[in-house]
Amino acid sequence: MLNFNLKYLCVCMCYMCGGFVLWGQFSYIWGLFCVFVTLIGHNKMGHGTKAHHHEHHHIQAPNKEDVSNLSEGERMELSHSIRVYCIILVKPKDLGNWAAVKETWSKHCDKAEFYSSENVKVFDSVVLNTNDMWVMVRNAYKLAYERYKDEYNWFFLAHPTTFAVIENLKYFLLKKDPSQPFYIGHTVKSGELEYVDDDGGIVLSIESLKRLSKIFEDPDKCPEQGGLLWKLSEDKQLAVCLKYTGVLAENAEDSEGKDVFNTKSVGSLIKEAMANHPQQVVEGCCSDTAITFNGLAPNHMHVMMYGVYRLRAYGHNFKDLPLLPKGSLVDSISSFNINKGVKGKVE
Partner 1 sequence: MVQGLGQGHSRQTCLWLASLVPHLCHGPGGCGSACNARGWLSLGVIGEVGVSPLATPVPLTLFLHPGEISVTAAELYSKVRILCWVMTGPSNLETKARHVQATWTRHCNVVLFMSSVRDEGFPTVGLDTKEGRDQLYWKTIRAFQYVHQHHLEQADWFLKADDDTFVVLDNLRWLLANHTPEEPVYFGKRFKPYAKQGFMSGGAGYVLSKEALRRFVEGFRTQVCTHTTSLEDVALGQCMEKMGVQAGDSRDAARRETFHPFGPESHLTGKFSKSFWYWKYCYYPIVEGPQCCSDLAISFHYVSPELMYTLEFLTYHLRAYGYRYRYQPPLPENAARLLQRQAQPKAANATLLVQGTKIL
C-alpha closest to that of 141 among 222, 80, 50 = 222
Distance in Å, CB of 270 to partner 1, minimum = 5
According to the binding rule CB under 8 A, does residue 121 interact with partner 1? no
* DSSP state, residue 42: H
Stretch that binds partner 1, among 13-21, 46-54, 114-122, 311-319 (CB under 8 A): 311-319
Site string for partner 1, 51-80 (x = CB under 8 A): -------------x--------------x-
Q: Which is nearer to partner 1, 37 or 321 (CB)?
A: 321
Distance in Å, CB of 285 to partner 1, minimum = 6
- On the 0-12 / 13-18 / 19+ scale of CB atoms within 10 A, 233 is middle
The sheet carrying 111-116 orders its strands as 58-60, 250-253, 183-185, 202-205, 154-158, 84-90, 111-116, 126-127
- On the 0-12 / 13-18 / 19+ scale of CB atoms within 10 A, 155 is buried
According to the binding rule CB under 8 A, does residue 336 interact with partner 1? yes
Q: Give dist(CA 263, CA 134) in Å, integer.
A: 19
According to the binding rule CB under 8 A, does residue 285 interact with partner 1? yes
C-alpha closest to that of 216 among 195, 193, 241, 247 = 241
Q: Which is nearer to partner 1, 20 or 314 (CB)?
A: 314
* DSSP state, residue 132: -
Distance in Å, CB of 290 to partner 1, minimum = 6
According to the binding rule CB under 8 A, does residue 5 interact with partner 1? no
> Which residues make up the interface to partner 1 (CB under 8 A)?
64, 79, 107, 165, 167-168, 170-171, 256, 266-267, 270-271, 273-274, 278, 281-282, 285-286, 288-290, 299-300, 302-324, 326-329, 331-339, 342, 345-347
